[in-house]
Amino acid sequence: MANTNTNSGRVSEDQYYLNIAREVAGRATCIRRKFGAVIVKSKQIVSTGYNGAPRGTVNCSDAGFCLRNELGAKKGEHYEWCRSVHGEANAIIHASRFDMIGATLYLVGLESESGEIVKDAEPCRMCKRMIINAGIDTVVVQSAEGIVSQYKTVDWMNDNLGEYRMVNGKLEPVRPEGY
């Protein structure tokens, strides 16, 4: 986990990229939450992305409507109701895989109404899959003011993204609550 400042009083490298991700999130067009992502390799920014509707289509912020909000979608569920391409996905789309192998993705989420940092932010399952396939090694997330969470994609792979568990020597899917 990263400190906000180094001994010299400078902002730490992780916080520097998280600050940039926070600025990128300011371009998001989602009514529910705004996310900004920055992919960094060898201390160079490879790509950035924020969540918003696909190019050439109406943004939720322009339409003034969020179907996930209206239907009461829980965190992590029913992304098929969402018009947005996630910030992580947009950052990945805009970079070559060669440039992302071994890279770090920095992610910041902001509550659209208050601008507060999303307290329990992390990539969704679909974004985790894309992050793994892109070859990104580490994800650093600003979880709350002053708290930084760090994830290793190898841990997600070793845990099968939490989508399977071993029962009586067999892999079984983990079903969402209520199903």
Residue 28: the pLDDT is 97
Q: Kindly give the parts of the chain with pLDDT less than 50.
A: 1
**pLDDT by residue (tens digit) across 36-45?**
999 999 999 9
3-state secondary structure at position 134: helix
How many residues belong to the chain?
179
From CA 91, how far away is CA 40, in angstroms rounded? 11
Residue 179: the pLDDT is 67
- Other CB atoms within 10 A of residue 155 CB: 9
From CA 3, how far away is CA 71, in angstroms rounded? 39
Please say whether the beta carbons of 52 and 85 come within 8 A: yes
